[in-house]
Structure 1
Amino acid sequence: MYGMLLESIMYFGRLEYGEIVWEKIREDAGCKTADFNTHQIYSDSIFLQMATSCSNVLGKGDVNDYMRFFGRCFVRYCSHYHYDKMLRVTGRHFCQFLREMDNLHSQMRFGFPKMKSPSMVVTEYNREGALLQYRSSRTGLSHYLMGQLLQIANDFFDMPLNVEIISEESEARTQCTTFRLDFDNGGFVDEMVQKRRGFDREPLPSDSFELGTLFHQFPFGMVLGPELRIRYGGEKILMLLGMDVIGSPFTQHFIIQKPHTLLSWEAIIMFQNVVWEVESKNLPFNATTANSLDAFREKPPRRGSSQAPWSTDRSSLSSSRGLLLKGQMYIVKELNIALFLCMPLLNNLVEMREMGLFLNDLSMHDLSREMVLAGWQHCSRLQIMYNRAEEYSTKLEDSHKKNEEAKAKGDELLYSMLPRKVADILRQGNDPYEICQVRSVTSSAGRGSLLGYHVQTNKTFEEVTVLFAEVSLAEECVGMGAMDYLKIINGLYNVLDNTLEKYFVFKVETVGGVYMVVGGAPEHRADHCSQVASLALQMIEEVARSTSGSHGLRIGMHLGPVAAGVVGLKLPRYCLFGDTVNTASRMQTNGQVGRVHISEKCAKELEKFDFITTFRGKIQIKGKGEMNTYWLEGKAEPKSKFSWK
């Protein structure tokens, strides 16, 4: 479906339910974007996903209720952006409007060339309403159509309408739904009765009027019987296609382009009020004999032209080898025949010559001569604009896709430099210094379970865990070149980055061979110390495993308060400040390769999470004096809940 339908849902969904609620609905539906492009194609499943999410989030109504709401949204959207002018002049009465919907979709295809337009036919009508038959290759949109009909009846015709689904059937690849529409249809019925009275006059003598006389006025017309064979044809259609068309099946010589239905006598009766377009399967006889266009035989003619009518250049749009006819199928009940009263679609003099036609072959009572001499007709102009619009649309879709890809890469790079929530706040134009830190709410169900977020106005954290890890290379790496050194460090950092993804921590920075991580910022967690400790142990294991013990890490950890914020304009970074950072750095500096050196405060916190620590002793720490420090050895195995005897 086109994005225009989804735009209407997003616009009026926000108005109806508010930004916050609608954002929850959109996220529940899995919509990656809140905005859709009018002429871009999207999956039909988005409709059902949005309707299901509305029912889940709002907690009232079912999917069909919201599908009807979406249908109403589209009509309101058309009125809001003044797209309703064409809809308002489609029919004087509501029933006339319904009978013209197929023709309306036929014209809309120039603006929306990939539209899978449905078919809507009024099969019966009376003063109390009508039966509407709806066919579509897309399933699940019956209630969406109901919403549209209800809103159109209210906005355009100011009348109440009741819609009921009588039956739903599947036909090949289409779904056929029959609706019963209850409304005041008296005006339309009276108008149809008045039209019949206009024909209720004394008939002409049977020997004074023949079908041949009618087809002098419609030289391209044909007569079909219930068996769908061509019984009679106008002199020009016989001249172009040959006399052998008489008595042969209609589908043997013509392809039905519109309406989208299989040819049958019932279909002709049903689609009497719809414009028919058919194309001959074979090249017109006179186009290859009377004009002797050798080049034309080699290269098929094309429908439409942007050349002047006197130009000898060939047309340049969509190819079509046959003669294109456009007209109406009209049933004559008394004779049990169908009249196809049509005219050829010719764009200019060049195409007319290619078809083997001359001006005197065209009717005088219509505008076909004037349109050919003018060099264009409205379909040709629309087709030219459609081709151009389709090219622009394709380019726009490609540009939009590339833009989305570039945006995704930019987001990925940005989130690797800054915490996601901090980056999102900066995008809103806030001053980096005024960024509020985001903290989590811990549930009573257990330590570390996150229920939501609230904004903290200060820019400090009461307690976080800071980790420094320094890479220690093997002795044979001493004296190697800068590029070789860079390659080894990069490989080790990739190992650490992959390990980092498994824990709720944030990588602050890397300086030379030192890797800095924080737990509990910018999103506070009650188990931040446990997360960082588990990460530290696994970092040592992964580096030893990936390098077969050639290289190692010297890790230090400390627990305490910090100030945090984004600093810098050219290369903004999320940085931590305070004595806690300095102490963690001293733990790393005074540690040993392959071990995790932690402060006393950190060791006491880790005891709550069943980690094993051993006392190292009092050591002299620069700038801190003597401190009790510990080694982090690992984590105790969970105790069994049962004791076996």
Structure 2
Amino acid sequence: MYGLLLESIYEYLKQTYGENVAEEIRKRANIHQHSFVTHKVYSETLVPRMGDAAAAITGTPKDELMEQFGVAFVTFVGHYGYDRVLRVLGRHMRDFLNGLDNLHEYLRFSYAKLKPPSFFCENETKEGLTLHYRSKRKGFLHYVKGQIKTVGSLFYNTHVEIDVISHRETEDLTHVVFQLKFDNYAYREPVEKKDITQTTKLHVRSAVFFDVFPFHLVFNRDMLIRSAGKGLEQVLEGLEGRQVDTEFVMMRPLLEFTWKNVMSHTNNVFELQSVNETKAQRQQDLDDLSDDDVCSFQTETASRRTRVSRASRRISYAQSQDCGTIYSQPAHDQVYNSARTSYLRLKGQMMFMEEWDSILFLGTPIMENLDVMFTTGLYINDLSMHDSSRDLVLAGTQQSAELKLALDQEQQKNKKLEETMRKLDAEMKKTDSLLYQMIPKSVADRLRKGEPAMNTCEVFESVTILFSDVVGFTTICSQITPMQVVGMLNAMYTEFDQLSEKNQVYKVETIGDAYMVVAGAPIKTKYHAHHICNMAFDMLDAMSNLTDPSTGGNMRIRVGVHSGAVVAGVVGMKMPRYCLFGDTVNTASRMESTGEAMKLHVSETTKQFISSGDGYVLQERGSIQVKGKGSMKTYWLMGIPGHDPAKYAELARRGSHMPPLENGKHVNGFDTLGPEDAELDGLESDKVSLVSPPPVPGDCAFVPPLLSIDHKPAEPSEDDVKSGLKSPCPNKDQGKAVNVDDQRVKPTDVFAKGAGKGNGSHYSNNSLNVAMKKVGNAEKAHLIPDTPTGLHV
């Protein structure tokens, strides 16, 4: 199938449904070409696949689409000048229909590999005629209807109604009988011939007649060849006396080569092709064989000829009616499975000669170029001088070389274009992926169709929103490098993004350590609260895989959830974003900020959407004061099937370095911790305990309890002895101070010898005091004296 037909269909789809829909149809049909070269041959399956894909996407019935494809083809070929050919095929509509096969013959000059259908008219009246359509292709019935109707209206100003009388398909052939109804005013009833006056007839001797047509054939009712032209005898020896249907196969019309079928279709162009190779080709084959192979070659030739003869006689149309018998494609392929240049092809007219009671075939050899002529053993002077055969061969050779060069150049350009389009497709997919991360797919597709951004804004009466953030994020950032911060957040958000796809929620945005997702927008669902709660517990589970770079423990998050109505849509021009607006967003944020580490804090509104029957376990928290909302009754969502609440409590304890829990409370308020719990790497600590801050002079106030590290007394250094100091000074990295709220002092904040007025023999830790300022434990830092057993902070 040539690209001219495919390009016309693709152009119709783009003009009718838009380029985006046409592109979607192309992809659904699994067609990789973005455009089609008119003179290039493509797969026969492309048109059916395009029809099926277009019907599925547009919702238009396939039969209706195929008819529209046929209509579009007639107008499309006008771009290439073929409309002028359609105009001169006949003076009237009946002339066009009777000459359809001639149209395809003309097209063969430009489309050498054309496999055209066959048309035959019968039962013509003033009201119309019967048209037989035969083709090796299936599924083009409605396509042909669209073509015929459009030709009638465009070129002959004639309205044509088409009814399908019969439609039969075999494995290799489609035969359709149409009844065409139109104003056939040009038709004239046949008048019986009568000799009114006696006139003298000019007789021509048969020898002269046959000399004028060197490629003629005369065969009788028994299909025996009575005469063959001199040109035929030059390339095919011994034709006279043989069966014409065993020496030739009728390529067109698509019928069995019988007397009846020929007589019924004398107004058609006939094409015959020899069963045997030409004499010149056979001689070439023999020259290429060794003496031992000649005998087997001749035997195989005779055997093949016998098989063809038998196959030709067995060919029948299983359900033949008045349409005649159709040949079988497999048998046809057996005959023509070799190169086309090895056989002689003839095109011409069949005429019944009453005087001879025989049919005369006036043929002309089909020579595509001079190489084909040389291969078949013909020469220019073998062709008739009374028609244009010689001119066509010579002129065609010149034009063929020019066309081949132009075609090669076009194919090279098309190949580059296809490669560029494939690269463009890959880039488009990347662009779409980025776009769909910024804007939901359903909304982005609307914007790409040209809808204004304001049209995407709509009210969602019921959605559920989740906010989360990292506990102690500011302190963590102050103790690690910026690249570590980026790595930490990237690891966390990668986990969360994968979970959002799993739980069918949409990530709205991330700001710093805050993560916001929504369910119920832009795709509405009554299970929005369930999706969000499942997402929340998956996020808590994921924290066991995420490490706090500043402590080595697990990261901890707070999660808040609220349900309600929002307005959602795309805002912005340069960086458009899908945003949510409304009090629901603010309340969900407050649920997060008033929550606790590794707990899921939900509002009473969200509680109403989830049922304990679904396995959701809720614990009433009570009424809390929420900024901008006043007192609100909230709940802890303790668990759902597949999630262990105790796991989150353990993660919260390990992440904050809190003392062990017993019945949900710290043992004795404060308890002794081991060095591994405080993660005091490199410290030779006897014990680490929680103590209240010691009283210090002045206005220094340490509000939270601090970890106290008791040291083994360190020996004074030589410098200390020389200075007259008797109390030991702790070695470098021997002590750290840690706030219970997980605000630790950097490892570099070590105890150092004090300096300054009034210090006397006391040791001080200036860097520790500075650290205390940073965490907000003191308005003013004071020097902290040492004790005999170590330093207590």
Cα distance in structure 2, aligned partners of 1:229 and 1:507: 84
Sequence identity, in percent?
Answer: 31
Deviations 1:293-332 (A, max 9, x none): 99xxxxxxxxxxxxxxxxxxxxxxx964325434213132
Structure 1 letter corresponding to 2:604: A
Q: Map residues 347-496 of structure 1 onto 2, 5 A cutoff.
A: 352-374=373-395, 376=397, 400=421, 403-404=424-425, 406-424=427-445, 427=448, 435-439=454-458, 465-468=465-468, 496=496
| Cα displacement (A) at 1:176 | 1.7
Question: Higher strand proportion, which one?
Answer: 1
Q: How many residue pairs were aligned? A: 561
- Displacement of 1:202 in angstroms is 5.3
Name the counterpart of 1:174.
173
Question: SS of the residue aligned with 2:186?
Answer: helix
Residues 63-462 of structure 1: pairs in structure 2 closer than 5 A: 75=74, 84-108=83-107, 117-139=116-138, 141-189=140-188, 209-210=205-206, 212-243=207-238, 245-250=239-244, 254=248, 257-280=251-274, 283-286=277-280, 320-334=340-354, 335-346=356-367, 352-374=373-395, 376=397, 400=421, 403-404=424-425, 406-424=427-445, 427=448, 435-439=454-458
Contact kept? 1:617, 1:628, Cα under 8 Å: yes
Contact map agreement 2:499 2:535 (CA 8 A) in 1? yes
Q: Distance in 2 between matches of 1:246 and 1:111?
A: 35
| 1:556 equivalenced with 2:559 (yes/no) | yes
157-166 or 551-560, which deviates more: 551-560
Change (3 A) 1:624 1:147: closer
SS at the partner of 2:341?
coil
**In 1, distance between residues paired with 2:442 and 2:240?**
76
Q: Is the 8 A contact 2:252 2:272 kept in 1?
A: yes
* Partner residue in 2 for 1:605: 606
In structure 1, C-alpha distance between the alignment counterparts of 2:13 and 2:560, rounded to whole Å: 49
8 Å Cα contact 1:347-1:380 kept in structure 2: no
Paired residues of 1:273 and 1:328 also in contact (CA < 8 A): no
Q: Conserved in 2, the CA contact under 8 Å of 1:555 and 1:587?
A: no
**Any conservation in 1 of the 2:467–2:517 contact (CA below 8 Å)?**
yes
Equivalent residue of 1:180, what SS?
strand
State the TM-score, normalized to the length of structure 1.
0.66
Q: Give ranges in structure 2 of 5+ residues lacking alignment.
A: 289-337, 474-478, 548-552, 643-793
Structure 2: which amino acid aligns with 1:362? L
Aligned CA-pair RMSD: 5.6
After superposition, the C-alpha distances for 1:377-434 in whole angstroms (9 at most, x for unaligned) are 6677667766766676666566556644543443233212322354346546789xx6
- Could you tell me how far 1:499 is from its partner in structure 2? 3.6
Structure of greater relative contact order (alpha carbons < 8 Å, 6+ residues apart): 1
Structure 2 CA distance for partners of 1:284 and 1:490, relative to 1, 3 Å: farther
Shift of residue 365 of structure 1? 1.1
Question: Is 1:90–1:100's contact at 8 Å kept on the other side of the alignment?
Answer: yes
SS in 2 for 1:516: strand
The change in CA–CA distance for 1:528 and 1:404 in structure 2 (over 3 A counts) is same
Closer, same or farther: CA 113–409 of 1 in aligned 2, 3 Å? farther
**Alpha-carbon offset, residue 537 of structure 1:** 3.0
Task: Please tell me whether the aligned partners of residues 467 and 557 of structure 1 are also in contact (alpha carbons under 8 angstroms).
Answer: yes
The answer (yes or no) to whether the contact 1:439–1:523 under 8 Å persists in 2 is no
Question: What code does the residue aligned with 1:439 have?
Answer: E
Counterpart of 1:631?
Answer: 636
1:543–1:148: structure 2 CA closer, same or farther, 3 Å change rule?
Answer: farther
Change (3 A) 1:427 1:281: same
The separation in 2 between residues aligned to 1:348 and 1:116, in whole angstroms, is 19
By how many angstroms is 1:147 displaced? 4.4
Report if aligned partners of 2:622, 2:634 keep a CA contact under 8 Å in 1: yes
CA deviation map 1:187-216 (0-9, x unaligned): 2436x8699999x975556xx622x43332
Task: Name which of 597, 600, 608 aligns with 1:596.
Answer: 600
Q: In structure 2, what is the Cα distance between the partners aligned to 1:338 and 1:387?
A: 44
CA spacing shift, 1:44–1:491, aligned 2, 3 Å: farther
Counterpart Cα distance in 2 of 1:536 and 1:68: 55
Amino acid of the residue matched to residue 417 of structure 1? M
Secondary structure, counterpart of 1:343 in structure 2:
strand
What amino acid maps onto 2:610 in structure 1? Answer: F
Q: 1:132 Cα shift?
A: 0.9
Q: Aligned partners of 1:580, 1:85: CA distance in 2, in Å?
A: 69
Kindly provide the amino acid, as one letter, of the partner of residue 331 in structure 1.
M
TM-superposed deviation, 1:92: 1.1
Which residues of 2 match residues 524-539 of structure 1 at below 5 A? 528-539=528-539
Matched, 1:517 2:511: no
Per the alignment, do residues 363 and 605 of structure 1 end up closer, same or farther by CA in structure 2, a change over 3 Å counting?
Answer: same
Alpha carbons of structure 1 residues 579 and 398: separation in structure 2 relative to 1, 3 Å: same
Greater mean alpha carbon deviation, residues 88-97 or residues 334-343: 334-343
Q: 1:616 and 1:12, CA in 2 relative to 1: closer, same or farther beyond 3 A? A: closer
SS in 1 for 2:209: helix
* Contact 1:567–1:575 (CA under 8 A) maintained in structure 2: no
C-alpha distance 197-513 of structure 1, shift in aligned 2 (>3 A): farther
Q: Which amino acid aligns with 2:618?
A: T
Q: Structure 1 residue 363: deviation in Å?
A: 1.9
